[in-house]
Amino acid sequence: MWDCIVIGAGPAGSAAAYHLAKQGRSVLILEKDMHPRYKPCGGGVSPEVAQWFDFDFSPAISTTVRRFRFTYEGGDPVEVEATTREPLWLVRREVFDAFLVAQAQAQGAQLKAGCAALSLRFEDSAWTVDTPEGPLRARYLVAADGAKGTVAKMLGFEARRFRMAGAIEAECATPGPADLPLCLDFGTVGKGYLWNFPKADGQSLGVGVLRGRQNRHLRDVLKDYAAGFDVELDGCAVAAHPIVLWDGDQDLHTQQALIAGEAACIVDPFTAEGIRPSLRTGVLAAEAIHAALGGGDRALESYTARVQQEIGAEMMWARRLSAMFFHLPSLGYKVGVKHPGSPQRMAQLLCGELRYSEVAQRALHRLSGGIF
């Protein structure tokens, strides 16, 4: 009998496992894929996350950036050198996720890789997880198996609120120029953007559609964008994947179980950032389950409340900005990116040193003023 089984070895699951194991709880991580595993992701991580852990993340960071370059339809560039305390981290997810799992294991958590959760049942005040290796038992569960995961539905979260988005990403092994900034392009693709995130050993390029369905020509758009960096898309590892954007607060707890990370639909609806909120939900999930194991009253309900207070409130502003910005991207770029001070604020948002609630009202006023 485990204190907790965490299903999914991504950032949310590993963060939950780390903090529970550090508190002396017995934790098992189930991951359906072998670990480490490839995960398509731009890999931008706010250095803010370091405050939630007591170890050094540097072995898991590919590179850092302070220079940001914004363009509209490939032109009208704006560049800024971030004045943030720390630069933005850029990671490769197979390295970053494996590093986080190793930190949890060092605290005593155990990992079963290549072991999927096939079904769940609650009996005798504990959860039974059926796996190819047989049934496993735990007093509590954390479902952190991502956007395509099935565990949330098994737990009864069948009507989760989210807005569907999608991305096509390419991992290139050819490093860009030494001074290549983090690049974001708006306007070329409707209701989305293109990006190039430099890594120490290559480049991560992608196209994301944040509102509405993916266009079937997105791969061609990405191919043209990559060519602008002398990257041949055919020589890259290319993957498409869904993104579940936050679309309103909802319950994230049920009987002795929580959902966290992308399974909880907490991806930023403006930037599609998922790693930082996933890590935070993992930390909060661990705190709630540790309290519940200690006899804390209504500890799991407090998890839902804290996610809504810390993450949901910010996501609400992000959703409003996203709706306005991508409705008229040319105007959004003019007043939201090119306006004096805006590029620096964008960098601060990405680095976690500025909150949407601190800038959104002013930005929305500018955007609505330009429309009406």
pLDDT for 35 equals 84
Classify residue 102: in a domain, yes or no. Answer: yes
The neighbour count for residue 142, using CB atoms within 10 Å, is 33
CATH number of the domain bearing residue 43: 3.50.50.60
* Sheet order of strands, 88-90 included: 44-45, 88-90, 63-65
Per-residue model confidence (pLDDT) at position 213: 53
Does some domain include residue 188? no
Alpha helix positions (H), 240-355: 275-293, 299-307, 313-327, 329-336, 342-350
**Backbone phi, then psi, for 178, in 5-degree steps?**
-60, -30
Alpha helices per DSSP H over 2-146: 11-22, 93-106
Establish if 326 belongs to a structural domain.
yes
Per-position pLDDT tens, the chain of length 372: 999 999 999 999 999 999 999 999 999 999 999 988 888 788 999 999 999 999 999 999 999 999 999 999 999 999 999 999 999 999 999 999 999 999 999 999 999 999 999 999 999 999 999 999 999 999 999 999 998 899 999 999 988 889 888 899 999 888 888 889 999 999 999 889 999 999 998 999 999 997 655 555 889 999 999 999 999 998 898 998 889 999 999 999 999 999 999 999 999 999 999 999 999 999 999 999 999 999 988 999 999 999 999 999 999 999 998 988 888 899 889 888 888 888 999 899 989 899 998 887 777 776 666 543
Give the count of domains, the chain.
1
Residue 45 inside a domain? The answer is yes
pLDDT of the residue at 142: 98
Residue 193 lies in a domain: no
pLDDT of residue 216: 59
- Among 192, 172, 293, 279, CA closest to 236: 172
Beta carbons of 25 and 161 less than 8 angstroms apart: no
Residue with tokens 């050819």: 174
CA distance linking residue 54 with residue 33, whole number of Å? 28
Asked if residue 312 belongs to a domain, the reply is yes
Distance CA 190, CA 328 (A): 10
Full domain range(s) for residue 300:
2-162+245-371
Comparing C-alpha atoms, which of 280, 78, 251 is closest to residue 181?
78
Type of residue numbered 146: G
Q: How confident is the model at residue 147, as a pLDDT?
A: 86
* Contact between residue 201 and residue 63 where contact means Cβ atoms under 8 Å apart: no
Residue 176: the pLDDT is 85
* Residue 135 within any structural domain of the chain: yes
Say if residues 21 and 109 touch (Cβ distance below 8 Å): yes
* The CA-based dihedral angle spanning residues 148, 152, 156, 161, taken in that order and rounded to the nearest 10 degrees: -70
Query: Between helices 356-371 and 313-327, what is the axis angle to 10°?
Result: 30
Predicted local distance difference test score (pLDDT) of residue 369: 64
Strand partners, 78: 70
Kindly state whether residue 294 falls inside one of the protein's structural domains. yes
Q: How far is 28 from 33, CA to CA, in rounded Å?
A: 15
CA distances for 56 relative to 14, 50, 59, 103, angstroms: 15, 8, 7, 10
Sorted by sequence, the CB contacts under 8 Å of residue 281 that are 6+ apart come out as: 12, 15, 252, 260, 261, 264, 266, 307, 311
